Chains A and B, each alone.
Chain A
Amino acid sequence: MSSTRDIDALIEMMAKLPGLGPRSARRAVLHLIRKRALLLSPLADLMVQVAATARECLNCGNVGTSDICDICASEKRANGELCVVEDVADLWAMERAGVFKGRYHVLGGTLSALDAVGPEELRIPKLIDRVATENVSEVILALNATVDGQTTAHYIADQLEGAVRLTSLAQGVPIGGELDYLDDGTISAALNARKDI
């Protein structure tokens, strides 16, 4: 029996993580072993803890360690604005920007007839329910500017039309973007959404 069996198994598991391959997983594991007290043990403890407590918020679909996430539980965030995002990574991106002060709703994907993802597979019925019960004044559809993302946005808009104010994120030139490097679609969208200065 190999004396490095456990370490090999750890490397194999680490190599399954996004951004890591077998070589980088090997480097990461070696680093963890060298910093056993400082990194490996605390990391192992935290992973055990998170594995036991991590769950989806029953209200919005965010990931947290309680049934209702901090954002949904906060009274300060109940300002009537509800931001609909595709997945938790998008919610975290919005939170990083720190400009949105309302609550979120995570759909868990986009509609895709080809992959048999319908409204029931997403959290669209729950969204409609929240709009009806949570005193929502505006739903911001912060979905990706892709064909699937916008198809989903239009579907939601159809479902909520007349019930609440519906808005979507602007599309156009990113901060620091150079026109020369932008694709035709982005330039076209930016031109259509031009504004007075």
Chain B
Amino acid sequence: MEWRDQGILLNVRRHGETSAIIDMFTEEHGRHAGVVRGGTSRKIAPILQPGAQLDVTWRARLEDHIGSFTVEPLRSRAAAVMGSRLALAGLNAVSGLLLFCLPEREAHRGLYRRTEQLMDLLGQDDLWPLAYLRWEMALLEEVGFGLDFSACAVTGATEGLEFVSPRTGRAVSREGAGEWLDRLLPLPECLLGRGGAPDEQILQGFELTGYFLREKLAQEMHKPLPEARQRFVDRFSRSVVPR
């Protein structure tokens, strides 16, 4: 068995004295693990940093073997994130969530392309939080918990959407909210593509996606969300409201 693809490195674990097991997120083969021989060497270890864009060739005798990767670096993103607390926290959140929820060896081409675009924005702290929020929406969509803001779930109206139903993930207008108003989640305007995206709205967006990640996805997976996601949100909220 052999294939070649490009992808984003999500995680590295030591394997024995000289090798490493890496988790890649590739376009055609989805999330895929494999051994990199000599992966802890001085030559290869700097390449194997989470977030790196790699060209990988995977080989194994049988398809269900873990197999081994040979890697060629395409783009290193480590240098862009090392100096920025927010970027580093963001990189960890993206890697953590992908490892948390994506099944192995299943292609998610749309999500892959969005992830690559998001990773390329790392270090641009003014653009990144909104891009990350939209990426979390895409992730929820990909794993079957997509949010629908096209029309009010109660009245069918397409204007005046202010809330989201925590049960269905569909938008609800103020008129449609009725007696359930206090149980609905606020829908920030930036997710409707209207106006700018002030940090307060982005934070509100993180609360919204966080609810569905925690209460729907994590419940389904029977494990808690990776801490890296909350660390990123905390980091971002501290930059919005300085201590």
Q: Which A residues are within 8 Å of any B CB, using their own CB?
A: 18-19, 113-115, 118, 145-147, 150-151, 154-155, 157-158, 161, 171, 183-186, 188-189, 192
Contacts and interface: CB of A to CB of B under 8 A. Distances in A.
Contacts of A183: 46-47, 73, 76
A113 B227 contact: yes
Q: Is the interface of A mostly helix, strand, loop or mixed?
A: helix
Contact of B79 (A154, A157, A189): A189
Interface residues of B, number: 32
B92 A184 contact: no
Nearest to A117: B227
Contacts of B96: 113-114
Contact of A118 (B92, B99, B227, B235): B227
A151 B51 CA distance: 13
B82 A150 contact: yes
Interface string B215-243: 00000000000111001000100100001
Nearest to B81: A147
7 contacts: A114-B99, A147-B91, A150-B81, A158-B238, A171-B82, A186-B79, A188-B79
Contact of B78 (A19, A157, A185): A185
Q: Which 8 A-B pairs have the closest CB atoms?
A: A188-B79, A185-B79, A185-B76, A113-B228, A113-B227, A154-B85, A184-B76, A185-B78
Contacts of B73: 183-184
